[in-house]
């Protein structure tokens, strides 16, 4: 039986600014990654999003990022491993405090922190040590085949290898940078075909046509994508039509 976790990055509104269709998307996925106030969100949004996720019965994950509201956490920052460790502990603890059980389902780094860690073993180790400090049984969601996967194994925390339905891949297995025109896939049908390929073949076709092997434990569709709701609804239907079971990691 083939199964997959479907996750989405949510809770990214802030103050008067509303982003995404969180309430609708939460009903369609199996786990969510909730912003913790550094790249987006605020305490009220965090509380509201956690409540929606608990009501829907989906896995609640912390989505810590760099302290960069203006850049939405997508700008690289040069921090020491100790600074990164403390940054992650702070955000994970903040979101955990809003849960009724005081327990989280997982942690998924956000944006530049996620992408930098995917290529940087030492940075990944700092993130994994932070997670282990909070809860040694707490899984990290990491880019499939990345340095973060290797670091999680070395530090000794669970790891879900993640693929991206609405992002294109480079030949080295990393995501095409958002600064490039072909980074994001917005057509719901194309996204679904992309995911089916990754789940059923455990590989992905890169932008140069090469085939990259990978392990797909969880698939992410971004909540801030303009077509997010249509993409998630069509993806869920397509996965079910292909006899792929949706289940939290």
What is the pLDDT at residue 225?
A: 60
Q: How many residues does the chain have?
A: 249
How far is residue 237 CA from its own chain's centroid?
21
C-alpha neighbours within 13 Å on the C-beta side of residue 21: 15
Contacts of 30 (CB under 8 A, 6+ apart): 5, 6, 7, 58, 59, 246, 247, 248
Note whether 112 and 73 are within 8 A (CB). yes
Query: Greatest CA separation found in the chain?
Result: 47
pLDDT in tens, 133-151: 999 999 999 999 999 999 9
Query: In the prediction, which pLDDT does 155 show?
Result: 98
Q: So what's the pLDDT on residue 46?
A: 98
The SS3 assignment for 53 reads: helix
Give yes or no for a contact between 20 and 223, defined as CB atoms under 8 angstroms apart: yes
Give the per-residue pLDDT at 141. Answer: 98
Residue whose pair of structure tokens reads 């008067």 in the numeric block: 16
- 195-214 confidence digits (pLDDT tens): 999 999 999 999 999 999 99
| Structural domain range at position 171 | 3-246
Number of domains observed in the structure of the chain? 1
Q: Which residues of the chain have pLDDT under 50?
A: none
What CATH number does residue 16 fall under?
3.20.20.370
0.85 surpassed by pTM: yes
For residue 122, the number of C-alpha atoms closer than 13 Å in the C-beta half-sphere is 6
* C-alpha–C-alpha distance, residues 119 and 147, integer Å: 6
* C-alpha dihedral sign at 70, 73, 78, 81: positive
Degrees (nearest 5) of the Cα angle 198, 75, 170? 30
Question: Which is nearest to 163 in space by CA: 1, 3, 4?
Answer: 4
């Amino acid at each position: 039986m083939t199964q997959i976790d479907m996750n989405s990055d949510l809770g990214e509104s802030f103050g008067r600014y509303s982003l995404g269709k969180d309430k609708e998307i939460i009903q369609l996925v199996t786990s969510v990654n909730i912003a913790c106030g550094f790249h987006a969100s605020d305490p009220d949004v965090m509380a509201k999003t956690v409540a929606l996720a608990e009501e829907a019965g989906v896995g609640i994950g912390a989505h810590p990022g760099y302290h960069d509201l203006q850049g939405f956490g997508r700008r690289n920052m040069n921090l020491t491993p100790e600074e990164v460790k403390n940054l992650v502990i702070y955000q994970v603890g903040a979101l955990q405090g809003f849960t009724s059980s005081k327990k989280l389902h997982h942690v998924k780094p956000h944006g530049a922190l996620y992408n930098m860690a995917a290529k940087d073993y030492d940075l990944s180790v700092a993130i994994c040590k932070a997670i282990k400090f909070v809860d040694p049984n707490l899984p990290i969601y990491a880019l499939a085949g990345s340095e973060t996967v290797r670091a999680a194994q070395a530090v000794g925390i669970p790891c879900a290898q993640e693929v991206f339905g609405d992002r294109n891949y480079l030949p080295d297995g990393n995501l095409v940078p958002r600064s490039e025109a072909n980074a994001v896939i917005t057509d719901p049908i194309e996204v679904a075909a992309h995911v089916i390929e990754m789940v059923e073949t455990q590989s992905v076709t890169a932008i140069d046509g090469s085939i990259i092997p990978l392990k797909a434990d969880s698939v992410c569709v971004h909540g801030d994508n303009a077509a997010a709701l249509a993409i998630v609804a069509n993806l869920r239907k397509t996965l079910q039509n292909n006899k792929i079971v949706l289940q939290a990691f």
